[in-house]
Structures are given as C-alpha cells and as structure tokens.
C-alpha cells in the first residue's frame, strides 16, 4: 500500500510541475506549441462523433451524386432496376451502380424484357444482354470487373452496369407519317384496337401494320416469368401460335391473362392442348391432323359422355388409338378421369406416338435403365415404359430432356405443371424430322403475308 501511495503522489506531482511549466511558458513559442499539442482539436467541434473500434469511417465514403438526372429522351419503356443509383449520363447511355450482385441485375432485366414481350437476344458473351421492341433497342452491359467495389461507395461491394439505347428512326418516321395521313390510331397507340383500314402509304408501313395486327390478335399472358427460365420461350411460342387455352383458368372471370405455369395440369387440359398443337403444327397437312369425334359416337369412356364440352377431342384421341381405351384393347380403362392431374408417365405415353407416328417398341425395365439410367424404372407402368424407351431415341429432341433436363429419376407418378406440359408440346416429330412451334409460327406468318399480298 505504501508503494502504491508513493507512486500516485509522484504522478500527481509530475502533472502539477508540467502544468506549471505550461503556464510559465505561455508567452513564449515553446509554451504555445506545447499547449496546442495538449489542447482539443477544433476541427472536431463541428464534426459528428466517431465510434472508435467500429472499423468504419463514414467520412471516407463518397455520397451518391443526387444532381445527376435522366436525360429527357430516356425511353420510359426501359425497366428501372430498384435501388440502383444513376452515376453518369452520356449520349444515349446511362451508367448505374447498385449493391446487388451481377446475376441479380441480369436476371431482373431478362425477366422484365420477356414479361413485357421484348425480343430478347441470347447473350453473345457474359455480362451483355440485348432486347428490342417497336424499334427501340436496349443493350445492358455489366463489365467483367464489376462486383468488386461500387463507384459511388468505394468501400462497399456492388455492381456497375450501363444501359445503352437507340431507336430505329425509319420505323418511327413511317408510323408518324401514316398517323398524319390516316388520322387514326396506329399500332402501339393506347387507342389502337384493331387493324388500320386505310391503305398504307408504302410497303414498309404496310409491313409494320401487319406485324402489329398479328401481335394484338395473339394471346398473351402476364405471368410467364413465373415459369422456369428454361421453359419460358416454349410458353411464348405456343401462346403466340394460339395453342394454349383461350378460355379462363379462373372461375371468377370469363377471361384472364394468367396462365398459372406452376399449377398442375389436368388430363382434360392436356388432351385439348395435344390436339390443338398437332393440328396447328400440321395446318397444311390434313393427313397428319387428329380428327375430332362426332357427337353421335358411342363414348369410349363412361365419365366422358357426348354432352361433355371436350368429348369430341377426348373421344377423337381414343378413336385414333393415341390414348389407352377399350377401343385400343385396354378393356380395364373404362374411365378417363378428365379432371385428375396428369402424371409424367401419362404425358409421355400420350405424346410419343405423335412423335414416332408408329407403334411403340417392346421395352423392359432393364432396357430403360441401360438407356436413360433411371433408378426408378421399375415404377413405370408397362405401356408407358415403351413410350419412355422410344422417347430416348429422339436424342436431344426427346420430351423428357426438353422438359426435365438431365435426371436419373423419372418419378413416373409425379404430377405435371402447366409449363412442363406446354414444353412437351413445343416440338412434334423425330430427331431427324419434325415441326416446332417456331416453325409453325413462321408458316402461319408466311401464309398471312401471302394472303395480304393477294388481296392487294
């Protein structure tokens, strides 16, 4: 205790001597220097307090520049990424930053473009996405060095991207000229509800009007972005072709723009889409089409009477031998169960005969295991086993690969979503010869153009 008391007395005495020295030297240069060293920093009086030990120094972070505004010609159709900060504006180009990762930005724009019917080109290289709509072309570029630090906040990880936009002035001029001449709403205007009746001023304007008319007449859904990315293009093509349901999928409304891609598809719905897709794909080949049954035909199924709205289609599939029924020798299949969910093995069993246009091959569990490698091949119903084996021979054109990708489990009793059912119908035929929805669309558009030319 005596040692501690002596030490304390020595420290107090030292401080007193030091203060006395400062006071005594206040009028000379050494005293003023010492006073400045021990005094408080006057710069801290108007500065916010710094939390020592936090590891952050907010004074080193650059605040976002709120004075930069979008140019007057920035197209309102271009989607705006949430929480992105505008950093720079040059001619037809804007530069942005966000704290989100690169893949989130690219996925956002790809989904937005597709949901709003932009023509999206497949990326030619990583970090670049191009989309076009009504003469407006947008290029999203995310530099490869992004995601390291944000330009706005150097110490915060983030993503920098640019949006470059250009307009096709020829298309815009043609539409403007037509509007001035005809004095009627044009395709793309809010008041446009149908084809323009007046004669176009030139061939270019006529082409624009025809294309816009087809786009307005085509059915569109506003929830296709809810489908898996790999299946969205299939939905868009089949929708444009008119294969997917024109009637409402909701009991509360007579019409809808909801496709509900994740909803389970029923056997009735799939039968309807199957016939519609085949007959649309082979619109110019009556011999390849499925004929609907007459209402006077004897029903093949006890639960699908002739009074059923889908009787002509379901009965037609049974009479064509494309689905199991007493007519095809399956005497125990007396019920169709139209409102039951469609399973994977049923989808393949109904679809593959349209691809091969021939009888199904003999199949065994071992054969399917050796070809597909399915661990659950033994769970597949024997008749469906034949269709699964035949589907393997279509290589990359097979329904299973197109819908489910690579898998070692077929899960034959698992139900099928509406998006998966549509993907299976996107292509009909073998690996060497067949028709896709895109082929059918081109044929349809070609026929429309020829009819228009003959009328003129």
Q: Answer yes or no: do 81 and 180 share one domain.
A: yes
Buried b (16+ CB within 10 A) or exposed e, 111-133: bbbbbebbebeeeeeebebbbbb
CA–CA gap between residue 106 and residue 141 (Å, rounded) = 9
pLDDT at 444: 82
**Is residue 268 over pLDDT 50?**
yes
pLDDT at 165: 86
pTM for the predicted model, two decimal places: 0.53
**Is residue 115 over pLDDT 50?**
yes
DSSP-derived pairing of the beta strands 427-429 and 434-436: antiparallel
In a domain, 330, yes or no: yes
> Strand, helix or coil at 34?
helix
Between 14 and 446, name the one with better pLDDT. 446
pLDDT at 125: 59
| C-alpha triplet 364, 367, 369: angle, nearest 5° | 110
Least confident of 52-66, 318-332, 367-381: 52-66
> Counting Cβ atoms within 10 Å, is residue 385 exposed (0-12), middle (13-18) or buried (19+)?
buried
Neighbours of 353 (CB within 10 A): 19
Range of 6-20, 139-153, 216-230, 360-374 with top mean pLDDT: 360-374
Range of 141-145, 187-191, 375-379 with top mean pLDDT: 375-379
Residue in 278, 294, 298 with CA at minimum distance from that of residue 286: 278
**Is residue 345 over pLDDT 60?**
yes
pLDDT at 108: 87
**Is residue 160 over pLDDT 80?**
yes
Confidence of residue 299 (pLDDT cuts 50, 70, 90): very high
Neighbours of 287 (CB within 10 A): 5
The CATH number for 110's domain is 3.30.310
**Is residue 243 over pLDDT 50?**
yes
Q: Answer yes or no: do 177 and 78 share one domain.
A: yes
Least confident of 157-161, 277-281, 409-413: 157-161
pLDDT at 178: 41
Which tokens go with 35? 């006073």
Q: Among 189, 221, 238, which residue terminates a domain?
A: 189
For residues 157-169, give the mean pLDDT. 79
Number of domains forming the structure of the chain: 2
In a domain, 113, yes or no: yes
Which tokens go with 69? 């505004």
Confidence of residue 447 (pLDDT cuts 50, 70, 90): low
pLDDT at 374: 96
In a domain, 108, yes or no: yes
Query: Which value, to the nearest 10 degrees, does the dihedral of the CA atoms of residues 171, 172, 173, 177 take?
Result: 100
DSSP-derived pairing of the beta strands 427-429 and 159-167: unpaired
Q: Are 327 and 319 in contact (CB under 8 A)?
A: yes
CA–CA gap between residue 218 and residue 333 (Å, rounded) = 38
In a domain, 374, yes or no: no
CA atoms lying within 13 Å on the CB side of residue 388: 29
pLDDT at 32: 52
Q: Among 340, 367, 391, which residue terminates a domain?
A: 340
pLDDT at 131: 86
Confidence of residue 55 (pLDDT cuts 50, 70, 90): very low
How close are the terminal C-alpha atoms of the chain, in Å?
116
Q: Answer yes or no: do 83 and 184 share one domain.
A: yes
Q: Answer yes or no: do 69 and 168 share one domain.
A: yes
pLDDT at 325: 94
In a domain, 185, yes or no: yes
CA–CA gap between residue 175 and residue 153 (Å, rounded) = 44
CA–CA gap between residue 113 and residue 28 (Å, rounded) = 75
**Is residue 383 over pLDDT 90?**
yes
Confidence of residue 56 (pLDDT cuts 50, 70, 90): very low
Which tokens go with 437? 């929805």
Which tokens go with 185? 């709403």
pLDDT at 274: 96
In a domain, 239, yes or no: no
Beta bridge partners of 95: 88, 162
Domain of 316, in residue numbers:
266-340
Average pLDDT of the chain to the nearest whole number: 75
142 backbone φψ class: left, alpha, beta (φ>0; ψ -120 to 50) = beta
Residue in 308, 336, 332 with CA at minimum distance from that of residue 322: 336
CA–CA gap between residue 85 and residue 100 (Å, rounded) = 11
In a domain, 184, yes or no: yes
In a domain, 124, yes or no: yes
> How do residues 422-442 score in pLDDT, each as one tens digit?
999 999 999 889 999 999 988
For residues 383-404, give the mean pLDDT. 94
Q: Among 189, 209, 224, which residue terminates a domain?
A: 189
Q: Answer yes or no: do 285 and 183 share one domain.
A: no
Between 79 and 2, name the one with better pLDDT. 79
Q: Answer yes or no: do 69 and 181 share one domain.
A: yes
Residue in 396, 397, 394, 392 with CA at minimum distance from that of residue 380: 392
């Amino acid at each position: 205790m005596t040692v501690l008391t002596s030490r304390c007395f020595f420290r107090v005495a030292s401080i007193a001597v030091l203060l006395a020295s400062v006071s005594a030297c206040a009028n000379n240069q050494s005293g003023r220097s010492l006073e400045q060293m021990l005094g408080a920093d006057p710069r801290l009086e108007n500065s916010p307090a710094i939390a020592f030990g936090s590891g952050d120094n907010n004074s080193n972070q650059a605040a976002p520049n709120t004075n930069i505004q979008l140019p007057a010609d920035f197209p309102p159709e271009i989607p705006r990424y949430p929480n992105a900060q505008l950093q720079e504006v040059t001619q037809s180009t804007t530069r942005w930053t966000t704290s989100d990762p690169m893949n989130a930005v690219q996925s956002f724009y790809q989904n937005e473009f597709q949901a709003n019917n932009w023509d999206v080109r497949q990326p030619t290289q990583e970090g670049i996405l191009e989309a076009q709509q009504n003469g407006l072309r947008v290029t999203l570029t995310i530099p490869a060095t992004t995601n390291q630090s944000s330009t706005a906040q150097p110490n915060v990880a983030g993503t920098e991207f640019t949006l470059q936009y250009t307009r096709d002035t020829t298309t815009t001029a043609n539409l403007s000229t037509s509007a001035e001449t005809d004095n009627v709403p044009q395709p793309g205007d809010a008041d446009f509800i149908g084809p323009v009746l007046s004669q176009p001023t030139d061939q270019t304007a006529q082409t624009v009007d025809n294309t816009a008319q087809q786009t307005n007449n085509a059915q569109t859904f506003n929830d296709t972005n809810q489908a898996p990315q790999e299946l969205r293009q299939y939905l868009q093509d089949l929708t444009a072709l008119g294969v997917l349901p024109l009637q409402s999928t909701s009991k509360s409304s007579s019409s809808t723009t909801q496709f509900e891609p994740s909803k389970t598809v029923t056997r009735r719905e799939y039968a309807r889409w199957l016939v519609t897709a085949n007959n649309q794909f082979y619109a110019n080949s009556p011999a390849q089409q499925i004929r609907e049954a007459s209402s006077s035909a004897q029903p093949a199924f006890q639960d699908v009477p002739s009074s059923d709205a889908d009787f002509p289609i379901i009965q037609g599939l049974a009479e064509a031998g494309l689905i199991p029924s007493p007519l095809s020798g399956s005497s125990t299949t007396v019920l169709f169960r139209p409102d039951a969910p469609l399973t994977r093995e049923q989808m393949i069993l109904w679809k593959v005969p349209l691809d091969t246009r021939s009888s199904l091959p003999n199949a065994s569990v071992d054969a399917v295991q050796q070809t597909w490698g399915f661990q659950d091949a033994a769970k597949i119903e024997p008749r469906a086993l034949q269709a699964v084996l035949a589907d393997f021979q279509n290589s990359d054109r097979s329904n299973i690969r197109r819908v489910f990708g690579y898998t070692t489990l077929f899960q034959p009793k698992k139900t099928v979503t509406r998006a998966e059912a549509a993907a299976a119908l996107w292509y009909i035929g073998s690996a060497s010869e067949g028709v896709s929805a895109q082929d059918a669309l081109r044929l349809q558009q070609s026929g429309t153009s020829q009819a228009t030319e003959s009328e003129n």
